[in-house]
Structure 1
Amino acid sequence: MIQINGTLKLAPDTLSKGREAIVAMVRASRAEDGCLEYGFAQDLTDPDVLYLVERWRDRAALDAHSASPHMAEFKRAMAANPAMERDLRIFETDDGLPLG
């Protein structure tokens, strides 16, 4: 399994401008073959920070996602208001175990 985790630090008001593009991309990504999880979460202490979590069945599914039309549209939308900071990491992992 491939997992991507990370943070995006946005300029003030960027989220309000880009929310529609983010939601459209998340919905389309979740419908893709091989997508196990895809989501953004807003930091409760800093509304300009987003956390990203993606889980993909394999590298081929991630590569297809990266080449998808909705990902290209998302990149165009976000290019107008790019992240000020970005720290994304990719991992090859197993399915993990339930905690607790």
Structure 2
Amino acid sequence: MNLHVVALFKFNENYLMEAVELFQTLVRETRKEEGCLQYDLIEDKDNKGTFFMVELWESEQHMNCHNGQDHLLDFRRDVSKILESSTQVYKGFKTL
């Protein structure tokens, strides 16, 4: 069963360029992973500095493998220094 994930990131406007650079590497490398069906970064149109990562994984196991990848661990380490607030992550299975 496919797993849907949405992660919410909020940055101070002073760090937007740095955040986008970190996201570029993360997205590029994650899209190469086995089981990654979708991995898209969306910027909120009304709230500057707010981003959503919209993910679709072939299975929960594939997403769990993603969580141990070096590019994600590096991203988490680097992005934690510039986040305005804690990242919120929502996971679920399609119901309709």
TM-score (norm 1): 0.84
CA contact under 8 A between 2:43 and 2:50: conserved in structure 1? yes
Using the aligned pairs only, state the percent identity.
20
Q: Which structure 2 segments of 5+ residues have no match?
A: none
CA contact under 8 A between 2:42 and 2:53: conserved in structure 1? yes
Q: Which structure 1 segments of 5+ residues have no match?
A: none
Provide, for residues 19-55 of structure 1, a one-character-per-residue CA deviation record: whole Å limited to 9, x for no partner.
1111000010011000000011111222211122000
Q: Tell me which residue corresponds to 1:39.
A: 40
Q: Tell me which residue corresponds to 2:62.
A: 61
May I ask how many residue pairs the two structures share in their alignment? 95
CA contact under 8 A between 1:18 and 1:77: conserved in structure 2? no
Q: Larger Rg: 1 or 2? A: 1
Runs of 4+ in 1 over 6 A off after TM superposition: none
Q: What is the root-mean-square deviation of aligned Cα atoms in Å?
A: 1.7
CA contact under 8 A between 1:2 and 1:56: conserved in structure 2? yes
SS in structure 2 of the partner of residue 13 of structure 1: helix
Once the two structures are TM-superposed, the CA of residue 6 in structure 1 deviates from its matched residue by 3.8
